Amino acid sequence: MEKGRCSCIILVQIMLSSFFGCLYAGVLAIPAYPPRNNRNMLRIDRIVNDAKPEIVMTTSKIVSSITAPNQTAQVQLLTEAYQKANVPPEKVQYIETHGTGTSLGDPSEVGALSQVVSLNRSEDRKCKIGSVKSNIGHLESAAGIAGLIKTALAINKRCLPAGLHFKHPNPHIPFHDIKVSVQDSLTS
């Protein structure tokens, strides 16, 4: 790169959404040529490149209908994803969930996660879960990228934020019987 010239950025994702007349956007940009010697910069390129995602969810496999997730398909997808990534599910410490806040969606999502990450996991090492929606609300189509940004920041800062508005667990999720718990306090 020539001195005095700016480099373009690689745009990973932008999602626009309107909700009650407001426009939300989630943008994740990775510099084509990351600046050197900037230790405070969130190096999302390192996080994304290290993740090497190989599994893509498609609505037809995951949901029975638009409002009814298919827990069996979610378990299959998660199992395949962990196998392809060569990551033992019991070693996962945190999962950013979709967190719909519904009586059907959340129990199905947490049930699938619990089935997969609980095998070979000790009782004292519950997998923490959270959802950015608890902190900033639902951003419709920008919610996924907001969750990715939240998780990347958590990795970068080496701390897990609490769900700000989490008060009572969903009564349809048996948290006392599973090895998954809600991230309800700031931890580092």
- 37 three-class SS: coil
Contact call for residues 44 and 152 (beta carbons, < 8 A): yes
- Residue 79's domain comprises 39-182
Whether 176 maps to a domain, the answer reads yes
In the chain, which residues have pLDDT < 70?
A: 1-68
- The model carries a pTM of 0.72
71, part of any domain: yes
pLDDT confidence of residue 167: 82
Residue 109 domain-assigned (yes or no): yes
Domains: count for the chain: 1
What are all long-range contacts of 9-16, with beta carbons under 8 Å and residues at least 24 apart?
12/48, 13/145, 14/145, 15/141, 15/142, 15/144, 15/145, 16/141, 16/142
What pLDDT score does 32 carry? Answer: 55
DSSP letter for 123, please. T
Q: Give the chain's end-to-end CA distance (angstroms, integer).
A: 38
What's the rounded Cα separation, in Å, for the pair 86 and 96?
19
- Residues 30 and 4: their CA atoms lie apart, in Å, by 20
Q: What is the CATH number of the domain that holds 160?
A: 3.40.47.10
Q: Is residue 46 part of a domain?
A: yes
Q: pLDDT tens across 107-131, in order?
A: 999 999 999 999 999 989 999 999 9
Six token digits for residue 22: 């407001």
In a domain? residue 3: no
Predicted local confidence at residue 183, as pLDDT: 93
Q: What pLDDT score was predicted for residue 42?
A: 55
pLDDT score of 12: 40
Predicted pLDDT of residue 4: 47
Q: In this structure, is residue 47 part of a structural domain?
A: yes
Q: Looking at the domain assignment, is residue 13 inside a domain?
A: no
pLDDT of residue 100: 77
27 is a domain residue = no
